[in-house]
Chains A and B, each alone.
Chain A
Protein backbone atom coordinates (compact mmCIF):
# COMPACT_ATOMS: atom_id res chain seq x y z
CA UNK A 1 0.00 0.00 0.00
CA UNK A 2 1.42 3.35 -0.97
CA UNK A 3 -0.15 6.48 0.42
CA UNK A 4 0.07 9.73 -1.50
CA UNK A 5 -0.37 9.92 -5.21
CA UNK A 6 1.22 7.81 -7.90
CA UNK A 7 2.66 10.69 -9.88
CA UNK A 8 4.78 11.78 -6.96
CA UNK A 9 7.00 8.91 -6.07
CA UNK A 10 8.81 8.17 -2.84
CA UNK A 11 12.14 9.36 -4.27
CA UNK A 12 10.84 12.88 -4.79
CA UNK A 13 9.26 13.00 -1.33
CA UNK A 14 12.57 11.97 0.17
CA UNK A 15 14.56 14.51 -1.82
CA UNK A 16 12.21 17.38 -1.04
CA UNK A 17 12.04 16.42 2.63
CA UNK A 18 15.82 16.57 2.81
CA UNK A 19 15.81 20.01 1.22
CA UNK A 20 13.26 21.18 3.80
CA UNK A 21 15.27 19.55 6.63
CA UNK A 22 18.40 21.30 5.43
CA UNK A 23 16.73 24.72 5.46
CA UNK A 24 14.99 24.08 8.81
CA UNK A 25 18.25 23.03 10.47
CA UNK A 26 20.20 25.88 8.87
CA UNK A 27 17.88 28.90 8.95
CA UNK A 28 18.77 31.42 6.28
CA UNK A 29 20.12 28.84 3.86
CA UNK A 30 18.24 28.73 0.58
CA UNK A 31 17.54 25.54 -1.30
CA UNK A 32 16.13 25.07 -4.78
CA UNK A 33 13.53 22.34 -5.15
CA UNK A 34 13.85 20.75 -8.56
CA UNK A 35 11.57 18.31 -10.34
CA UNK A 36 8.29 19.93 -9.34
CA UNK A 37 4.78 18.83 -9.38
CA UNK A 38 2.75 20.88 -11.85
CA UNK A 39 0.43 22.98 -9.71
CA UNK A 40 -2.31 25.39 -10.80
CA UNK A 41 -1.50 29.03 -11.46
CA UNK A 42 -0.64 31.11 -8.38
CA UNK A 43 0.47 28.08 -6.40
CA UNK A 44 4.27 28.13 -6.50
CA UNK A 45 5.78 24.79 -7.51
CA UNK A 46 8.13 24.99 -4.49
CA UNK A 47 5.20 25.57 -2.12
CA UNK A 48 3.25 22.76 -3.76
CA UNK A 49 6.23 20.44 -3.36
CA UNK A 50 6.44 21.24 0.36
CA UNK A 51 2.70 20.57 0.79
CA UNK A 52 2.80 17.28 -1.09
CA UNK A 53 5.79 16.12 0.93
CA UNK A 54 4.50 16.99 4.40
CA UNK A 55 0.71 17.44 4.39
CA UNK A 56 -1.75 14.53 4.49
CA UNK A 57 -5.04 13.34 5.99
CA UNK A 58 -3.62 13.65 9.52
CA UNK A 59 -2.72 17.34 9.15
CA UNK A 60 -5.49 19.89 8.51
CA UNK A 61 -4.41 22.62 6.10
CA UNK A 62 -5.53 26.21 6.54
CA UNK A 63 -5.91 28.28 3.40
CA UNK A 64 -7.36 31.78 3.11
CA UNK A 65 -10.97 32.08 2.02
CA UNK A 66 -10.01 33.87 -1.18
CA UNK A 67 -7.92 30.94 -2.36
CA UNK A 68 -8.90 30.02 -5.94
CA UNK A 69 -10.95 26.85 -6.26
CA UNK A 70 -8.46 25.04 -8.47
CA UNK A 71 -5.74 25.41 -5.81
CA UNK A 72 -8.04 24.08 -3.10
CA UNK A 73 -9.05 21.14 -5.28
CA UNK A 74 -5.46 20.40 -6.19
CA UNK A 75 -4.28 20.33 -2.56
CA UNK A 76 -7.29 18.36 -1.33
CA UNK A 77 -6.76 15.79 -4.04
CA UNK A 78 -2.99 15.41 -3.90
CA UNK A 79 -2.48 15.75 -0.14
CA UNK A 80 -5.75 14.11 0.91
CA UNK A 81 -5.90 16.67 3.69
CA UNK A 82 -8.87 18.31 5.38
CA UNK A 83 -9.01 22.02 4.55
CA UNK A 84 -9.92 24.26 7.49
CA UNK A 85 -10.98 27.89 7.71
CA UNK A 86 -10.20 28.59 11.34
CA UNK A 87 -6.55 29.58 11.63
CA UNK A 88 -5.94 27.86 14.95
CA UNK A 89 -7.16 24.53 13.55
CA UNK A 90 -4.49 24.21 10.87
CA UNK A 91 -1.45 22.00 11.39
CA UNK A 92 -0.22 23.73 8.26
CA UNK A 93 -1.13 27.13 6.91
CA UNK A 94 -0.63 28.12 3.29
CA UNK A 95 -0.46 31.83 2.54
CA UNK A 96 -0.41 32.56 -1.17
CA UNK A 97 0.81 36.16 -0.99
CA UNK A 98 3.40 37.31 1.51
CA UNK A 99 2.18 40.86 1.03
CA UNK A 100 -1.30 39.88 2.16
CA UNK A 101 -0.75 38.21 5.52
CA UNK A 102 -3.48 37.17 7.91
CA UNK A 103 -2.87 37.85 11.63
CA UNK A 104 -0.09 35.30 12.06
CA UNK A 105 -0.44 35.20 15.84
CA UNK A 106 -3.85 33.57 15.32
CA UNK A 107 -2.19 30.33 14.23
CA UNK A 108 -1.67 27.52 16.71
CA UNK A 109 1.48 28.29 18.74
CA UNK A 110 1.48 24.90 20.46
CA UNK A 111 1.01 23.83 24.05
CA UNK A 112 3.67 24.37 26.73
CA UNK A 113 3.76 20.60 27.34
CA UNK A 114 3.51 19.84 23.61
CA UNK A 115 5.12 22.76 21.75
CA UNK A 116 5.48 20.49 18.70
CA UNK A 117 1.74 20.74 18.12
CA UNK A 118 2.11 24.23 16.68
CA UNK A 119 1.44 25.12 13.07
CA UNK A 120 3.93 25.17 10.21
CA UNK A 121 3.33 28.07 7.82
CA UNK A 122 4.17 28.07 4.14
CA UNK A 123 4.27 31.62 2.81
CA UNK A 124 4.72 32.41 -0.87
CA UNK A 125 7.12 35.26 -1.64
CA UNK A 126 8.69 36.71 -4.80
CA UNK A 127 12.39 36.48 -4.21
CA UNK A 128 14.99 35.52 -1.61
CA UNK A 129 18.40 37.20 -1.44
CA UNK A 130 21.14 35.98 0.85
CA UNK A 131 23.84 38.29 2.21
CA UNK A 132 21.83 41.45 2.63
CA UNK A 133 18.68 42.39 4.48
CA UNK A 134 17.43 41.15 7.85
CA UNK A 135 20.01 39.84 10.31
CA UNK A 136 19.29 36.37 11.70
CA UNK A 137 20.95 34.50 14.58
CA UNK A 138 20.14 31.39 16.59
CA UNK A 139 20.58 27.60 16.54
CA UNK A 140 21.56 26.29 13.12
CA UNK A 141 23.25 29.55 12.15
CA UNK A 142 27.03 29.74 12.29
CA UNK A 143 27.36 33.25 13.70
CA UNK A 144 24.84 35.26 11.74
CA UNK A 145 23.22 35.39 8.33
CA UNK A 146 21.36 38.04 6.38
CA UNK A 147 18.41 37.47 4.10
CA UNK A 148 16.34 39.86 2.06
CA UNK A 149 12.85 38.82 1.06
CA UNK A 150 10.92 40.44 -1.76
CA UNK A 151 7.15 40.11 -1.62
CA UNK A 152 6.82 39.85 2.16
CA UNK A 153 5.05 42.42 4.32
CA UNK A 154 7.53 44.02 6.72
CA UNK A 155 5.20 43.31 9.66
CA UNK A 156 6.32 39.69 9.24
CA UNK A 157 9.64 40.44 10.93
CA UNK A 158 7.97 41.96 13.98
CA UNK A 159 5.85 38.85 14.17
CA UNK A 160 8.93 36.64 13.96
CA UNK A 161 10.51 38.55 16.88
CA UNK A 162 7.32 38.01 18.87
CA UNK A 163 7.29 34.36 17.79
CA UNK A 164 10.82 33.80 19.11
CA UNK A 165 9.96 35.38 22.46
CA UNK A 166 7.25 32.74 23.00
CA UNK A 167 9.79 29.90 22.76
CA UNK A 168 9.33 26.93 23.14
CA UNK A 169 5.92 27.90 21.76
CA UNK A 170 5.77 29.33 18.28
CA UNK A 171 5.09 28.58 14.65
CA UNK A 172 7.73 27.49 12.14
CA UNK A 173 7.80 29.20 8.77
CA UNK A 174 8.83 28.10 5.30
CA UNK A 175 9.09 30.90 2.73
CA UNK A 176 8.72 29.74 -0.87
CA UNK A 177 9.47 31.50 -4.14
CA UNK A 178 8.53 29.72 -7.38
CA UNK A 179 11.56 27.45 -7.07
CA UNK A 180 13.32 28.02 -3.76
CA UNK A 181 12.64 27.79 -0.04
CA UNK A 182 14.13 29.20 3.13
CA UNK A 183 12.96 28.16 6.60
CA UNK A 184 12.57 30.23 9.75
CA UNK A 185 11.91 28.00 12.75
CA UNK A 186 10.80 29.56 16.06
CA UNK A 187 14.41 29.59 17.29
CA UNK A 188 15.35 32.31 14.81
CA UNK A 189 16.22 35.65 16.37
CA UNK A 190 15.66 38.68 14.19
CA UNK A 191 17.77 41.79 14.42
CA UNK A 192 15.85 44.67 12.91
Chain B
Protein backbone atom coordinates (compact mmCIF):
# COMPACT_ATOMS: atom_id res chain seq x y z
CA UNK B 1 0.00 0.00 0.00
CA UNK B 2 1.32 3.37 -0.87
CA UNK B 3 0.27 5.99 1.60
CA UNK B 4 1.69 9.45 1.84
CA UNK B 5 4.60 9.65 4.23
CA UNK B 6 5.05 13.39 4.31
CA UNK B 7 2.75 16.10 5.49
CA UNK B 8 1.18 18.57 3.11
CA UNK B 9 3.87 21.06 3.97
CA UNK B 10 6.72 21.08 1.50
CA UNK B 11 4.71 19.64 -1.36
CA UNK B 12 4.67 22.89 -3.27
CA UNK B 13 7.73 22.27 -5.39
CA UNK B 14 7.15 18.59 -5.93
CA UNK B 15 6.76 17.84 -9.64
CA UNK B 16 3.31 16.81 -10.73
CA UNK B 17 3.93 13.19 -11.39
CA UNK B 18 1.90 10.16 -10.50
CA UNK B 19 3.08 6.59 -11.09
CA UNK B 20 6.74 7.38 -11.21
CA UNK B 21 6.79 9.31 -7.95
CA UNK B 22 6.04 6.11 -6.09
CA UNK B 23 2.60 7.34 -5.14
CA UNK B 24 -0.22 5.32 -6.50
CA UNK B 25 -2.50 7.20 -8.86
CA UNK B 26 -5.07 8.92 -6.70
CA UNK B 27 -3.16 8.05 -3.54
CA UNK B 28 -5.00 4.88 -2.47
CA UNK B 29 -4.10 1.43 -3.77
CA UNK B 30 -6.46 0.03 -6.40
CA UNK B 31 -8.05 -2.55 -4.11
CA UNK B 32 -8.98 0.06 -1.51
CA UNK B 33 -10.40 2.34 -4.19
CA UNK B 34 -12.45 -0.53 -5.62
CA UNK B 35 -13.91 -1.25 -2.16
CA UNK B 36 -14.76 2.42 -1.62
CA UNK B 37 -16.24 2.68 -5.13
CA UNK B 38 -18.53 -0.29 -4.45
CA UNK B 39 -19.65 1.38 -1.22
CA UNK B 40 -20.37 4.63 -3.10
CA UNK B 41 -22.54 2.82 -5.65
CA UNK B 42 -24.56 1.12 -2.89
CA UNK B 43 -24.89 4.46 -1.10
CA UNK B 44 -26.33 5.99 -4.27
CA UNK B 45 -28.72 3.04 -4.68
CA UNK B 46 -30.01 3.44 -1.09
CA UNK B 47 -30.31 7.22 -0.64
CA UNK B 48 -29.56 8.39 2.90
CA UNK B 49 -28.49 4.96 4.19
CA UNK B 50 -25.04 4.75 5.77
CA UNK B 51 -22.93 2.10 4.03
CA UNK B 52 -20.15 0.75 6.28
CA UNK B 53 -16.80 0.43 4.55
CA UNK B 54 -13.44 -0.94 5.59
CA UNK B 55 -11.67 2.41 5.62
CA UNK B 56 -7.94 2.65 6.01
CA UNK B 57 -6.12 4.13 8.92
CA UNK B 58 -4.43 6.92 7.07
CA UNK B 59 -1.79 9.26 8.33
CA UNK B 60 -3.24 12.66 7.50
CA UNK B 61 -2.29 16.21 8.30
CA UNK B 62 -4.54 17.54 11.04
CA UNK B 63 -7.73 19.06 9.69
CA UNK B 64 -7.87 17.15 6.42
CA UNK B 65 -10.30 14.46 7.48
CA UNK B 66 -9.89 11.00 6.05
CA UNK B 67 -13.51 10.43 4.98
CA UNK B 68 -13.57 13.14 2.35
CA UNK B 69 -10.02 12.42 1.25
CA UNK B 70 -10.77 8.74 0.67
CA UNK B 71 -13.88 9.63 -1.32
CA UNK B 72 -12.09 12.18 -3.47
CA UNK B 73 -9.18 9.79 -4.02
CA UNK B 74 -11.62 7.15 -5.29
CA UNK B 75 -13.57 9.55 -7.49
CA UNK B 76 -11.11 12.01 -9.03
CA UNK B 77 -9.46 11.57 -12.40
CA UNK B 78 -7.42 13.66 -14.77
CA UNK B 79 -10.59 14.87 -16.57
CA UNK B 80 -11.90 16.52 -13.43
CA UNK B 81 -11.76 20.10 -12.23
CA UNK B 82 -11.49 20.06 -8.45
CA UNK B 83 -12.56 22.68 -5.92
CA UNK B 84 -12.02 22.49 -2.16
CA UNK B 85 -13.78 24.69 0.36
CA UNK B 86 -13.05 24.95 4.06
CA UNK B 87 -15.78 26.87 5.84
CA UNK B 88 -16.83 28.78 2.71
CA UNK B 89 -13.33 29.67 1.61
CA UNK B 90 -11.01 28.29 -1.06
CA UNK B 91 -7.89 29.91 0.34
CA UNK B 92 -7.52 28.51 3.85
CA UNK B 93 -4.40 26.46 4.55
CA UNK B 94 -6.37 23.19 4.56
CA UNK B 95 -8.24 23.91 1.34
CA UNK B 96 -5.06 24.92 -0.49
CA UNK B 97 -3.14 21.88 0.76
CA UNK B 98 -5.86 19.39 -0.19
CA UNK B 99 -6.20 20.94 -3.64
CA UNK B 100 -2.45 20.81 -4.26
CA UNK B 101 -2.24 17.29 -2.95
CA UNK B 102 -4.82 15.94 -5.40
CA UNK B 103 -3.37 17.97 -8.26
CA UNK B 104 -0.12 16.16 -7.59
CA UNK B 105 -1.39 12.58 -7.12
CA UNK B 106 -4.12 12.58 -9.80
CA UNK B 107 -3.08 15.33 -12.21
CA UNK B 108 -6.50 16.93 -11.68
CA UNK B 109 -7.03 20.54 -12.66
CA UNK B 110 -8.11 22.78 -9.77
CA UNK B 111 -10.35 25.82 -9.52
CA UNK B 112 -11.88 28.18 -6.99
CA UNK B 113 -14.97 28.74 -9.13
CA UNK B 114 -18.06 26.73 -8.29
CA UNK B 115 -19.27 26.92 -11.88
CA UNK B 116 -16.04 25.40 -13.26
CA UNK B 117 -15.75 22.52 -10.79
CA UNK B 118 -16.79 18.94 -11.57
CA UNK B 119 -15.98 17.73 -8.04
CA UNK B 120 -16.20 19.93 -4.92
CA UNK B 121 -14.88 18.72 -1.59
CA UNK B 122 -16.34 20.50 1.43
CA UNK B 123 -16.83 20.34 5.16
CA UNK B 124 -19.06 23.17 6.27
CA UNK B 125 -20.86 24.66 3.33
CA UNK B 126 -22.71 24.05 0.10
CA UNK B 127 -21.84 26.80 -2.39
CA UNK B 128 -24.35 29.62 -2.86
CA UNK B 129 -24.07 29.38 -6.65
CA UNK B 130 -26.63 26.76 -7.68
CA UNK B 131 -25.04 23.40 -8.49
CA UNK B 132 -25.59 21.86 -11.88
CA UNK B 133 -26.15 18.51 -13.55
CA UNK B 134 -23.11 16.26 -13.38
CA UNK B 135 -21.38 18.00 -10.47
CA UNK B 136 -20.34 15.88 -7.49
CA UNK B 137 -20.19 17.24 -3.94
CA UNK B 138 -17.90 15.34 -1.54
CA UNK B 139 -18.53 15.99 2.16
CA UNK B 140 -16.11 15.40 4.99
CA UNK B 141 -18.32 14.20 7.86
CA UNK B 142 -17.29 13.97 11.55
CA UNK B 143 -20.45 12.30 12.92
CA UNK B 144 -22.49 10.42 10.31
CA UNK B 145 -25.20 9.07 12.64
CA UNK B 146 -28.14 11.49 13.04
CA UNK B 147 -29.56 9.38 15.88
CA UNK B 148 -26.31 9.33 17.87
CA UNK B 149 -27.35 12.07 20.30
CA UNK B 150 -30.43 10.03 21.17
CA UNK B 151 -28.91 6.56 21.19
CA UNK B 152 -25.20 5.88 21.63
CA UNK B 153 -25.24 2.22 20.61
CA UNK B 154 -24.60 1.50 16.94
CA UNK B 155 -26.58 -1.78 17.15
CA UNK B 156 -29.62 0.19 18.30
CA UNK B 157 -29.41 3.05 15.79
CA UNK B 158 -29.00 0.49 13.02
CA UNK B 159 -32.26 -1.18 14.16
CA UNK B 160 -34.01 2.17 14.33
CA UNK B 161 -33.04 2.93 10.73
CA UNK B 162 -33.98 -0.58 9.61
CA UNK B 163 -37.45 -0.40 11.16
CA UNK B 164 -37.93 3.29 10.41
CA UNK B 165 -38.40 3.86 14.14
CA UNK B 166 -37.88 7.56 14.09
CA UNK B 167 -40.55 8.55 16.63
CA UNK B 168 -37.98 9.12 19.37
CA UNK B 169 -36.08 11.50 17.09
CA UNK B 170 -39.21 13.58 16.63
CA UNK B 171 -39.93 13.56 20.36
CA UNK B 172 -36.41 14.82 21.07
CA UNK B 173 -36.69 17.58 18.51
CA UNK B 174 -40.05 18.58 19.92
CA UNK B 175 -38.67 18.74 23.45
CA UNK B 176 -35.92 20.91 22.05
CA UNK B 177 -38.60 23.31 20.83
CA UNK B 178 -40.40 23.22 24.17
CA UNK B 179 -37.16 24.10 25.98
CA UNK B 180 -35.68 26.66 23.58
CA UNK B 181 -38.76 27.87 21.78
CA UNK B 182 -37.15 26.63 18.58
CA UNK B 183 -35.04 23.75 17.37
CA UNK B 184 -31.60 24.61 18.73
CA UNK B 185 -29.71 22.52 16.19
CA UNK B 186 -28.34 24.90 13.59
CA UNK B 187 -25.72 22.54 12.16
CA UNK B 188 -26.11 18.89 11.17
CA UNK B 189 -29.85 19.55 11.16
CA UNK B 190 -31.39 16.17 10.35
CA UNK B 191 -33.16 15.51 7.06
CA UNK B 192 -35.30 12.72 5.66
CA UNK B 193 -34.15 11.46 2.29
CA UNK B 194 -36.65 10.23 -0.30
CA UNK B 195 -39.20 9.77 2.49
CA UNK B 196 -37.24 6.89 4.04
CA UNK B 197 -33.91 7.38 5.83
CA UNK B 198 -33.11 10.09 8.34
CA UNK B 199 -29.69 11.46 7.49
CA UNK B 200 -27.23 13.95 8.94
CA UNK B 201 -26.15 16.42 6.28
CA UNK B 202 -22.71 16.90 7.92
CA UNK B 203 -21.86 20.14 9.75
CA UNK B 204 -23.37 22.43 7.14
CA UNK B 205 -25.62 25.14 8.57
CA UNK B 206 -29.32 24.39 8.22
CA UNK B 207 -29.28 27.37 5.86
CA UNK B 208 -27.80 24.94 3.31
CA UNK B 209 -30.29 22.10 3.86
CA UNK B 210 -32.79 23.29 1.22
CA UNK B 211 -29.99 23.19 -1.38
CA UNK B 212 -29.97 19.38 -1.05
CA UNK B 213 -33.63 19.05 -2.00
CA UNK B 214 -34.02 18.06 -5.67
CA UNK B 215 -30.45 19.20 -6.32
CA UNK B 216 -29.19 18.43 -9.84
CA UNK B 217 -25.83 17.42 -8.32
CA UNK B 218 -24.79 14.14 -6.68
CA UNK B 219 -23.90 14.48 -2.98
CA UNK B 220 -21.59 11.92 -1.35
CA UNK B 221 -20.73 11.96 2.36
CA UNK B 222 -17.70 10.25 3.92
CA UNK B 223 -16.98 9.67 7.60
CA UNK B 224 -13.41 8.43 8.04
CA UNK B 225 -13.34 7.59 11.71
CA UNK B 226 -16.72 5.87 11.77
CA UNK B 227 -16.16 4.41 8.30
CA UNK B 228 -19.48 5.30 6.70
CA UNK B 229 -20.40 6.46 3.21
CA UNK B 230 -23.83 7.79 2.31
CA UNK B 231 -25.29 9.72 -0.58
CA UNK B 232 -28.09 11.79 -2.01
CA UNK B 233 -28.55 11.22 -5.75
CA UNK B 234 -29.58 14.12 -7.99
CA UNK B 235 -33.26 15.03 -8.09
CA UNK B 236 -34.03 13.38 -4.76
CA UNK B 237 -36.41 14.74 -2.16
CA UNK B 238 -34.59 15.91 0.97
CA UNK B 239 -36.83 17.25 3.71
CA UNK B 240 -35.60 18.91 6.91
CA UNK B 241 -37.47 17.50 9.92
CA UNK B 242 -40.07 19.82 11.37
CA UNK B 243 -43.50 20.09 12.93
CA UNK B 244 -46.75 21.59 11.79
CA UNK B 245 -46.70 24.26 14.48
CA UNK B 246 -42.93 24.77 14.12
CA UNK B 247 -42.10 24.61 10.42
CA UNK B 248 -38.47 24.41 9.34
CA UNK B 249 -36.85 27.75 8.66
CA UNK B 250 -33.32 28.86 7.85
CA UNK B 251 -31.10 31.51 9.43
CA UNK B 252 -31.65 35.07 8.28
CA UNK B 253 -29.66 38.25 8.82
CA UNK B 254 -30.71 41.86 9.21
CA UNK B 255 -27.51 42.92 7.44
CA UNK B 256 -26.38 42.28 3.91
CA UNK B 257 -22.81 41.35 2.92
CA UNK B 258 -20.57 44.36 3.56
CA UNK B 259 -18.53 43.66 0.43
CA UNK B 260 -20.95 42.49 -2.28
CA UNK B 261 -24.28 43.51 -0.76
CA UNK B 262 -25.76 40.00 -1.06
CA UNK B 263 -28.93 39.51 0.94
CA UNK B 264 -29.39 35.84 0.02
CA UNK B 265 -26.13 34.31 1.22
CA UNK B 266 -24.86 32.84 4.49
CA UNK B 267 -22.98 35.55 6.36
CA UNK B 268 -20.03 35.38 8.74
CA UNK B 269 -19.41 38.09 11.29
CA UNK B 270 -15.92 39.57 11.08
CA UNK B 271 -14.26 41.74 13.73
CA UNK B 272 -12.48 44.51 11.81
CA UNK B 273 -10.30 46.21 14.41
CA UNK B 274 -9.52 46.55 18.07
CA UNK B 275 -12.26 49.14 18.44
CA UNK B 276 -14.64 46.23 18.02
CA UNK B 277 -15.92 47.39 14.66
CA UNK B 278 -17.70 44.53 12.92
CA UNK B 279 -19.13 43.64 9.58
CA UNK B 280 -20.90 40.74 7.89
CA UNK B 281 -19.43 39.07 4.81
CA UNK B 282 -20.41 36.11 2.66
CA UNK B 283 -18.99 32.86 4.00
CA UNK B 284 -18.75 31.66 0.36
CA UNK B 285 -15.71 33.58 -0.93
CA UNK B 286 -16.16 32.56 -4.57
CA UNK B 287 -19.76 33.77 -4.54
CA UNK B 288 -18.73 37.06 -2.93
CA UNK B 289 -15.75 37.67 -5.24
CA UNK B 290 -17.80 36.86 -8.33
CA UNK B 291 -20.51 39.28 -7.26
CA UNK B 292 -17.95 42.03 -6.65
CA UNK B 293 -16.44 41.40 -10.09
CA UNK B 294 -19.92 41.73 -11.54
CA UNK B 295 -20.11 45.18 -9.98
CA UNK B 296 -22.18 44.50 -6.86
CA UNK B 297 -21.07 46.68 -3.97
CA UNK B 298 -21.86 46.35 -0.26
CA UNK B 299 -21.82 49.21 2.27
CA UNK B 300 -18.20 48.47 3.29
CA UNK B 301 -16.80 47.90 -0.20
CA UNK B 302 -15.13 51.30 -0.43
CA UNK B 303 -13.10 50.84 2.74
CA UNK B 304 -9.34 50.67 2.12
CA UNK B 305 -8.48 48.93 5.41
CA UNK B 306 -10.28 45.70 4.50
CA UNK B 307 -8.56 44.92 1.20
CA UNK B 308 -7.57 41.47 2.42
CA UNK B 309 -11.18 40.53 3.07
CA UNK B 310 -12.10 41.68 -0.41
CA UNK B 311 -9.72 39.17 -1.92
CA UNK B 312 -7.62 41.95 -3.43
CA UNK B 313 -4.95 41.90 -0.72
CA UNK B 314 -2.23 39.32 -0.12
CA UNK B 315 -3.66 35.85 0.38
CA UNK B 316 -3.35 34.12 3.73
CA UNK B 317 -2.21 30.76 2.33
Contacts and interface: CB of A to CB of B under 8 A. Distances in A.
Interface of A: 1-4, 9-11, 13-15, 17-18, 20-22, 24-26, 53-54, 56, 58-59, 112-116, 118, 120, 139-143, 167-168, 170, 172, 185-187
Contacts of B30: 2-4, 10, 13
A185 B218 CA distance: 15
Nearest to B229: A116
Contacts of B236: 139-140
B203 to A, nearest CB: 24
A168 B134 CA distance: 25
Nearest to B51: A116
In the A-B complex, the 8 residue pairs with the smallest Cβ-Cβ separation, listed nearest first, are A185-B45, A3-B31, A10-B25, A116-B42, A139-B236, A140-B233, A14-B77, A116-B51
A172 B46 CA distance: 10
Given A10-B26, A139-B194, A21 B77 contact: no
B33 interface: yes
B212 interface: no
7 contacts: A1-B29, A10-B24, A14-B77, A22-B134, A116-B52, A139-B235, A139-B236
B234 interface: yes
B170 interface: no
A173 to B, nearest CB: 10
Given A3-B29, A11-B77, A54 B44 contact: no
A24 B45 contact: yes
Nearest to A185: B45
Contacts of A142: 216, 234-235
Contacts of B2: 1
A115 B49 contact: yes
A10 B75 CA distance: 11
Given A4-B31, A139-B194, 9 more contacts: A1-B2, A2-B29, A14-B76, A15-B79, A53-B34, A115-B49, A139-B234, A142-B234, A172-B42
Interface in B1-59: 1-2, 24-26, 29-31, 33-35, 37-47, 49, 51-52
A1 B39 CA distance: 22
Interface in B65-87: 74-79
Contacts of A115: 46, 49
B148 interface: no
A18 B40 CA distance: 11
Contacts of B194: 139, 187
B45 A141 contact: no
B235 A120 contact: no
Interface in B106-134: 134
Interface residues of B, number: 48
A141 B235 CA distance: 6
Question: Which secondary structure dominates where chain B touches chain A?
Answer: mixed
Contacts of A143: 235
A1 to B, nearest CB: 6
Nearest to A18: B77
Contacts of A15: 77, 79
Contacts of B196: 167-168
A168 B289 CA distance: 43
B241 interface: no
A11 B24 CA distance: 11
A91 B38 CA distance: 10
Given A13-B33, A26-B234, A140-B235, A187 B45 contact: yes
B46 A116 contact: yes
A24 B218 CA distance: 11
Given A11-B77, A172-B45, A140 B35 contact: no
Given A1-B1, A167-B196, A13 B44 contact: no
A21 B40 contact: yes
B272 interface: no
A165 B44 CA distance: 17
Given A54-B38, A56-B31, A139-B236, A25 B218 contact: yes
B49 A14 contact: no
A142 B236 CA distance: 9
Contacts of A3: 29-31, 34
Nearest to B231: A25
